[in-house]
Structure 1
Amino acid sequence: MARHLANPLVPDVAEVGAELVDIFVSGVFFSHMTITLGRVTLGFLVAFAVSLALGIVMGRNRYARQFFEPAILIGLTVPGLVWALLCVIWFGISLTTSTLAVALSLSPPLALSIAQGIKTVNADLQEITAVYRLSILSRLRFLLLPTLTPFLLNGIRIGLSMGWKVIVLVEIFGLSSGVGYRLNAEYSAMNVAGVLAWTIGFAGVMALLEYGVIGGIERYVTRWRRVATV
């Protein structure tokens, strides 16, 4: 179709492939992708710490759940573009901006998943931990985390799908590095093939993280579960 149109705005597969090979061979893709991954990781760590504490409190305390749940539900409906814009306005162009933008987009689904997971913790096991006076860290390690694992992974998947979009938007708005910056540079140069090449590369890394890393972790931590056979 691109060949028949002969339009510079509709590049053919060969052009996109050449751009893709170029950014990979030159190493520019990996350098900017590493920066973007670092920003997402930092935002994720902040979101995880806040969401874990908030989710546990909400799951164990009815009043805390009633207080925080409306704000979390509102946070789930806020588009990533809004978080990116607000953080750029409030904090300017800095590492704080990207970290908080990602954390704000990740925290609502993660906290909600953790709160739902806490409700499923076996009451008898909770009584046993109380009888043996296990420490908070021991309860977290041996009771809560094993129960919360599926909910955590689900929250991480949903949150990261939003976090990637937010970090790219923040980078487009003014950062001088990262995948979003490169997409903005290719757009400014009207290089559609370059935009598509960076998009394909970025999507490939996301798929690798989803099915390779997160999927691998899920298979490892749930390996003890029995699989029903027909």
Structure 2
Amino acid sequence: MPSQTRFLSILTIFILWQTLALLISSDTFPTAVSVFKSLFYHISEGELFYHLGITLSRVAITFFIAMSIGVFFGILMGEYKRIDNSLDTLLVIGLNIPALVTIIICYIWFGLTDFAALLAVVLNKVPTVIVTIREGARTIDLKYMQIAQVYKVSKYDTFTKIYLPQIYPYIMASARTGLSLIWKIVLVVELLGRSSGIGFQLSMFFQFFDIESIMAYSMAFIIVILLIETYILRPLEKKANKWR
């Protein structure tokens, strides 16, 4: 039933898009059919998969780095007040610096390299992960930890089987919001200073006012993100909440 509902919602959006585009009849608002034709053309040419693969690799690298750092410091700041007080100012600064500023500074300091691009994305994402995980660490039910201590459960088992499961919902929430944020920043990073990836291609199409190709490339990436959400993140979320 949920899959049927999602299919119907996607079909409804497709029909509305096609109808609205036909009514407007403008070169700057192509129909859904023409965009999908452009998508299949770029797939047949082969360059779409090449640039899509590069962008996805950047998304994956920055996602895992940002999540690892964010979860680590989020737990520390949630558990230890002194560490929280020491890092809170940096966290607030990190949360409020515009992504564009971070990207430009990284490119100026480290050059137009992949290292600078990935670093800019990580720096933009880590603070949001820390905030979410810190709030999760503050909601830990201490009675479970006390029970583990009474029964002399090892520290490793206490952490992995009692502590972490309680913050799994916060980890999954930061993962889902993080994925949506990271891929947007990656596109901006590629548009500003890389010579490959979806963002770079979008900048090239923009110069030629090729709106069909812009929407086709965007559609390809959206489809991939929806597949990741449906077949990876949602199953992981259900598995993480089984302990309840």
TM-score by length of 2: 0.82
Q: In the TM superposition, what is the alpha-carbon distance from 1:7 to its structure 2 partner?
A: 4.9
Task: Tell me the residue number matched to 2:197.
Answer: 178
Counting only pairs closer than 5 Å after superposition, residues 27-176 of structure 1 correspond to structure 2 as 27-131=46-150, 132=152, 134-135=154-155, 137-176=156-195
How large is the Cα RMSD of the aligned pairs? 2.2
Question: Per the alignment, in what secondary structure is the counterpart of residue 59 of structure 1?
Answer: helix
Give the distance between the partners of 2:207 and 2:213, measured in 1 at CA.
11
User: Which 10-residue stretch deviates more, 126-135 or 67-76?
Assistant: 126-135
Q: Determine the structure 2 residue equivalent to 1:228.
A: none
Give secondary structure in 2 for the equivalent of 1:9: coil
Provide the rounded CA distance (Å) in 2 between the counterparts of 1:129 and 1:101: 41
Q: Cα–Cα, structure 1 residues 144 and 28, in superposed 2: closer, same or farther, change >3 Å?
A: farther
Deviation at 1:213, TM superposition (A): 1.7
TM-superposed CA distance for 1:168, in Å, is 0.5
| Secondary structure, counterpart of 1:173 in structure 2 | helix
Shift in CA distance, 142/165, structure 1 to aligned 2, threshold 3 Å: same
Number of residue pairs aligned between Structure 1 and Structure 2: 224
Bigger share in helix: 2
Partner of 1:190, secondary structure, is: coil
- After superposition, what is the alpha-carbon deviation per residue over 1:126-146, rounded to whole angstroms, capped at 9, x for unaligned? 2344452623x4333112221
Structure 2 unaligned runs (5+)?
1-19
Q: Deviations over 1:135-185 (max 9, x none)?
A: 3x4333112221111000111222222211111011111212111111112
